[in-house]
Amino acid sequence: MILASSSDGGAVLRPLDARAQRDGPDQTVSPEALARTVLDLESALRPRWVWRRAADWYPRLLAAGVRVERCHDLALCGTALEGSAFAASAHYASPFATREVALEPSGSLPAMAPSAGQGLLFEAADVPGPGPDELEADLVAQLRAIASSEHPGRLRLLCAADSAGALVAAEMQAAGIPWDAATHEALLAEQLGPRPRAYERPELVERKANELRERLGAPRLNPDSPQELMRALHRAGIEAQTTRAWELREFRHPAIQPLLEYKKLARLLAANGWAWLDAWVREGRFRPEYVVAGVVTGRWASRGGGALQIPKQVRGAARALPGHKLVVADASQLEPRVLAALARDDAMAAAARDADLYAGIAAAGFGGDRAKAKVALLGAIYGATTGESGRLMPQLTRLYPRAVGLVEQAARDGERGLTVTTHLGRSSPPPSERWQRLQRSTTAEEQRRADAAARDRGRFTRNFVVQGTAAEWAECWMAELRLRLRRLAAQGLRGELVYFLHDEVMVHAEEGAAQACAEAVRDAAAAAKRLLFGDAPVEFPVSIAIVDSYDQAK
């Protein structure tokens, strides 16, 4: 291993052995010589680089044309280890933990300035960053926490997966998704109208707004104002409490359809309209910033650009360059298959051998009704145990007692205020002090609220173990794919990983390498399954499309 820390004069490189003991003298390297030095060491030793955050170092190395094979990201690993129930007895506390996480991957995280004293790679910091002794001490503490944990192998893999993810995230940002601005402009013009002047609505959006005003009898309505819109709805006799689409669809009124259509157009304009195109597409590439483990379950998030929410309306702009193809792959029904593997439920594993898991479950016990099987299983995973999914739950439990029992136990633990843990060791955060105070309440009204809060937390923990483990599988999938793409490149078959979305990856490959890259995607999925679940009889099939543009993949 080589530990890297920033300094006023560039960087300090400290060689360490596998136990994090010093294995030679420190080397101080100037900013001008750093990229060359890293490249030489990478070629000669293939070390595991240890740094506070890969995001502070690796982008600038990539800009200098230098790639590394392995690293240990102290901040990411520290965050996972500090909260892991597997390592609770070690009482490890990370000095560099990344604590900016979201409960749900519903949007981008806000832009974040470097923290005080962070010390960027080629720039002098106002406050010196942590020195090599501090970084070494944290590495030793992390290795000690892993070694003394209940499942050292799993925690070691979790740290390796998060660290590899940090390298993948930087490489994908550097590569960028190939994006055709002219195609994007044409798609916007087709769906919204010609590009408007500043502060004006596009023609088709304004036309839909006028239709809505007419149907509501509100000629001066600004449909982008939630307050004005709610008042207009109520005046028209539509007693909606929100303007969410699912609630609006419950009402029968001639204004509902144009309102839903307006909201769809306005969302496209705001999220991926001309302003987005101007801000995020440069030199034919869309380069979002991925946030590894940016969601509390370990799922990734993105900071700016909405990379995790590229809508179907503009996917046609993600186009391979001439002589290239996009290899787009998604893991079919990932979370249900992860549940089967986690629970070691052989009956569900047998259903999962079918390319369509829901069809397999339907054939086993729902009279071939795929829709009912899907509702029942997703209800078990996500906590929708009332209504139709609740009625179907007893049948699902009889078919797959181990799988249903696992998520039911996670829900009960959450309701009691306990934490739950993914397969590799990422644990849910403890309940808030407010939640705990509510559970100690005594009045009837407070107890009602306490019961509701407990059920909410149970739904969260029920899904946490499945979604979090699925995120671990996906990160291992990308890490394995990254290695395979590097090997193909060494053979002259070039493809680069350019996009990731929970259970989907995109490789931009030279046309002659596309088929080999597709095989690498499949092999990486099989390797990820072996890493996490060994010989568990659960298959993780991957659907792959080799296309010219993203919209052709589905």
Q: What is the pTM of this model?
A: 0.91
pLDDT for res 509: 98
CB 309 within 8 A of CB 361: no
Residue 126 has pLDDT above 50, yes or no: no
CB 355 within 8 A of CB 536: no
Longest Cα–Cα distance of the chain, Å, equals 79
Residue 303 has pLDDT above 70, yes or no: yes
Distance CA(51)–CA(142), nearest Å, equals: 13
Distance CA(509)–CA(428), nearest Å, equals: 38
Distance CA(101)–CA(95), nearest Å, equals: 17
Residue 471 has pLDDT above 50, yes or no: yes
Residue 112 has pLDDT above 70, yes or no: no
Distance CA(460)–CA(431), nearest Å, equals: 11
Answer with the residue of higher pLDDT: 384 or 217.
217
List, for residues 13-52, the tens digit of each pLDDT value. 999 999 999 999 999 999 999 999 999 999 999 999 999 9
pLDDT for res 431: 93
Model confidence at 107, pLDDT cuts 50, 70, 90, reads: very low
Model confidence at 253, pLDDT cuts 50, 70, 90, reads: very high
Q: What percent of the chain has pLDDT over 70?
A: 94
List, for residues 201-211, the tens digit of each pLDDT value. 999 999 999 99
- Please give the structure tokens belonging to residue 319: 């186009």
- Please give the structure tokens belonging to residue 395: 């049948």
**Average pLDDT over the chain, rounded to whole?**
91
Distance CA(547)–CA(18), nearest Å, equals: 44
Residue 117 has pLDDT above 60, yes or no: no
Answer with the residue of higher pLDDT: 236 or 384.
236
Distance CA(410)–CA(75), nearest Å, equals: 28
pLDDT for res 320: 98
Q: 301 pairs with which residues across the strands? A: 291
Model confidence at 114, pLDDT cuts 50, 70, 90, reads: very low
| Residue in the structure block whose two tokens are 């995001």 | 55
Among 153-162, 356-365, 524-533, name the one with the lowest average pLDDT. Answer: 356-365
Q: What is the mean pLDDT of residues 156-183?
A: 98
Model confidence at 103, pLDDT cuts 50, 70, 90, reads: low
pLDDT for res 129: 73
Distance CA(54)–CA(164), nearest Å, equals: 9
Residue 116 has pLDDT above 50, yes or no: no
Give the phi and the psi of residue 41 in degrees, each rounded to 5. Answer: -65, -40
Among 119-128, 258-267, 442-451, name the one with the lowest average pLDDT. Answer: 119-128
Model confidence at 99, pLDDT cuts 50, 70, 90, reads: low
Distance CA(254)–CA(257), nearest Å, equals: 7
Residue 104 has pLDDT above 80, yes or no: no
CB 533 within 8 A of CB 341: yes
Residue 223 has pLDDT above 80, yes or no: yes
Distance CA(347)–CA(399), nearest Å, equals: 7
Q: What is the mean pLDDT of residues 531-541?
A: 94
List the end-to-end C-alpha distance of the chain, in Å, as a whole number.
Answer: 43
pLDDT for res 90: 95
| Residue in the structure block whose two tokens are 């080629």 | 122
Residues counted in the chain = 554
Q: What is the mean pLDDT of residues 128-156?
A: 94
Q: What is the mean pLDDT of residues 170-197?
A: 97
CB 193 within 8 A of CB 209: no
pLDDT for res 124: 37
- Number of other CB atoms surrounding residue 138 within 10 Å: 23
The SS3 of residue 110 is coil
Q: 404 pairs with which residues across the strands? A: none
Give the phi and the psi of residue 375 in degrees, each rounded to 5. Answer: -60, -45
Name the packing angle between helices 31-45 and 54-63 (round to 10°).
90
Separation of CA 310 from chain center? 13
Report the chain's C-alpha Rg in angstroms.
Answer: 26
Residue 123 has pLDDT above 60, yes or no: no
3-state secondary structure 472-529: HHHHHHHHHHHHHHHHHHHCCCCEEEEEEECCEEEEEEEHHHHHHHHHHHHHHHHHHH
CB 110 within 8 A of CB 100: no
Distance CA(539)–CA(531), nearest Å, equals: 13
